[in-house]
Amino acid sequence: MSNTALITGASSGIGREFARYHAKRGGDLIITARRADALEALKAELEAAHDVKVTVVALDLGAPDGAAQLYAATKDHKIDVLINNAGFGGQGAFTDRALDADLAMIDLNVKALVALTHMVAKDMVAHGGGKILNVSSTAAYMPGPLQATYFATKAYVSSFSQALDAELRDKGITVTALEPGYVATEFAAVADLEGTGLAAQKGSTADKVAKFGYDAMLRGDLRAINEGQLRFMLNWIMPWLPRRMAMNMIKKMQTK
């Protein structure tokens, strides 16, 4: 049985670990991100260690036709697993930030994810099955002052994922939203979060989070938060906190 995974944002962090975990299980891969050299190095590593074939597609997925270009590059493959992982954040007060940076975030975190999912999920419906894992965040559970756009993109991803799962489950396709807490990757540097309380946390590691999310996807879980304490707090405490108190707490964590 074929088991090919398309993984976005595979050049570093959690995405690279998804690729390693999938290859270890004997699955072929299509890996994508902008940095071709990092993708080629991962391809060489995985093909040497496992009996798998890895296809590299280096492109800017946030570009207007990024998702369509990626889909076109995969047309010779049947995709069994889609992992929408590419994404980035950005610290700062909304009105101080460059509008282009926030719009680019929406283009990648939301628009590209929706477009790619539409194309690939249609094929999965035609094939009668598939697994989709969308990398959201604990940010999906609350608004995020000083990362207002990023938190809103992740709220979108978690909302979209759960609705799609309800539409697709009886067609043999499950959609899982992975909602990690802080993970030590390039994310904090890219988002300019260094020096905040958020980035001062030790956090989890990319390999642990990828395994946790991938296994949740295999089970067909709807939402998956990787840390028990966070899961409890977000589901049972956060909804009862006065909103302004919650906003102040989150703002403090993201202040430099």
Ligand X SMILES: NC(=O)c1ccc[n+]([C@@H]2O[C@H](COP(=O)([O-])OP(=O)(O)OC[C@H]3O[C@@H](n4cnc5c(N)ncnc54)[C@H](OP(=O)(O)O)[C@@H]3O)[C@@H](O)[C@H]2O)c1
Q: How many CB atoms lie within 10 A of CB 122?
A: 10
Q: Which is nearer to ligand X, 168 or 191 (CB)?
A: 191
Q: Which residues of 86-100 are buried (b: 16+ CB within 10 A; e: fewer)?
A: bbbbbbbeeeebeee
For ligand X, the nearest residue by Cβ is 13
Report in angstroms how near the CB of residue 51 gets to ligand X at its nearest. Answer: 25
Q: Which of 62, 90, 92, 213 binds ligand X (CB under 6 A)?
A: 62
From the list 34, 93, 37, 38, the residue with the least C-alpha distance to 61 is 34
Contact flag: residue 13 with ligand X (CB under 6 A): yes
Report in angstroms how near the CB of residue 180 gets to ligand X at its nearest. Answer: 4
Q: Which of residues 182-211 bind ligand X (CB under 6 A)?
A: 182-183, 185-187, 190, 206
The contacts of residue 209 (CB under 8 Å, 6+ apart) are 14, 17, 178, 180, 183, 226
- CA-CA distance, 182 to 229, in Å (whole number)? 13
Q: Which stretch binds ligand X (CB under 6 A): 45-53, 122-130, 159-167, 178-186?
A: 178-186
From the list 164, 140, 168, the residue with the least C-alpha distance to 224 is 140
End-to-end CA distance of the chain: 50
- CA-CA distance, 8 to 14, in Å (whole number)? 10
Q: Which stretch binds ligand X (CB under 6 A): 7-15, 21-29, 235-243, 244-252?
A: 7-15
Q: Which of residues 21-40 bind ligand X (CB under 6 A)?
A: 33-35, 38
Report in angstroms how near the CB of residue 1 gets to ligand X at its nearest. Answer: 28
* Active-site residue, selected from the candidate residues 150, 156, 182, 214: 150
* Torsion angles phi and psi, residue 177, rounded to 5: -100, 115
Contact flag: residue 82 with ligand X (CB under 6 A): no
For the question of residue 150 being annotated catalytic, the response is yes
Report in angstroms how near the CB of residue 36 gets to ligand X at its nearest. Answer: 8
Contact flag: residue 123 with ligand X (CB under 6 A): no
Active site residues: 150
